[in-house]
Amino acid sequence: MSTYQTILTAIDCSDDSPALLARAASLANSTTDIHLIHVIEPLALAYGADVPMDVSELQGTLIERAHGTAEKYASTIGIDKERVYVELGSIEKTIQDKARQIGADLIVVGSHTRSGLALLLGSTARGLVPGAHCDVLAVKVDPKKGSKD
């Protein structure tokens, strides 16, 4: 099997993101382009259309903060700012669309098996596979590893 030429790494901007990026980098060679994406679900989509206030300013702040965090993580493995994307939309569809747009031949995403937010991320990994046009690597993320307890 040949090496991947374009890898899209989907991060959640948590403390698990560096390990996920390191895994993506381990699959790359000197000619591989690694891209990073973080998707924020619109608050109206996440909480229903009946959000009783204008959330555009809040979403703008979330996007701005996420972009700073994503760029910080990207710089740890040398990803250029031009290859860092923070998008608003449905998580699986947005990742799949970006992968098609950049011609990715691999999507790397974290996989959890617990509850709460971890359950959401696990379902994201599973949800990517059916509609993906390329390989999807679900990297097992251990929430206990690296904790400072």
What does the alpha-carbon distance between residue 4 and residue 131 come to, in Å, rounded to a whole number?
19
Alpha carbon 1 to its chain's center: 25
| Look-up of token digits 């910080």 | 72
What's the helix, strand, coil split of the chain in %, to 5? 45, 20, 35
Which position has the higher pLDDT, 23 or 54?
A: 23
The CATH code of domain 6-140 reads 3.40.50.620
Q: Look at residue 22 and give its three-state secondary structure.
A: helix
2-17 pLDDT, tens digit per residue, is 689 999 999 998 888 9
- pLDDT at position 51 is 58
Can you give the pLDDT at residue 112?
A: 62
Task: Give the pLDDT score at 128.
Answer: 75
Q: How far apart are CA 84 and CA 36, in angstroms?
A: 5
Q: What value does the mean pLDDT of the chain take?
A: 82
Q: What's the pLDDT score for residue 149?
A: 34
* pLDDT over 90 at 46, yes or no: no
The pLDDT of 111-139, averaged and rounded, is 67
Q: Where are the domains of the chain?
A: 6-140
C-alpha distances (whole Å) from 39 to each of 1, 3, 34, 102, 125 are 30, 26, 17, 16, 13
Q: What confidence tier does 147 reach under pLDDT thresholds 50, 70, 90?
A: very low
pLDDT tens for residues 61-101?
889 999 999 999 999 999 999 999 999 998 899 999 999 99
Predicted confidence (pLDDT) at residue 148 exceeds the cutoff of 70: no
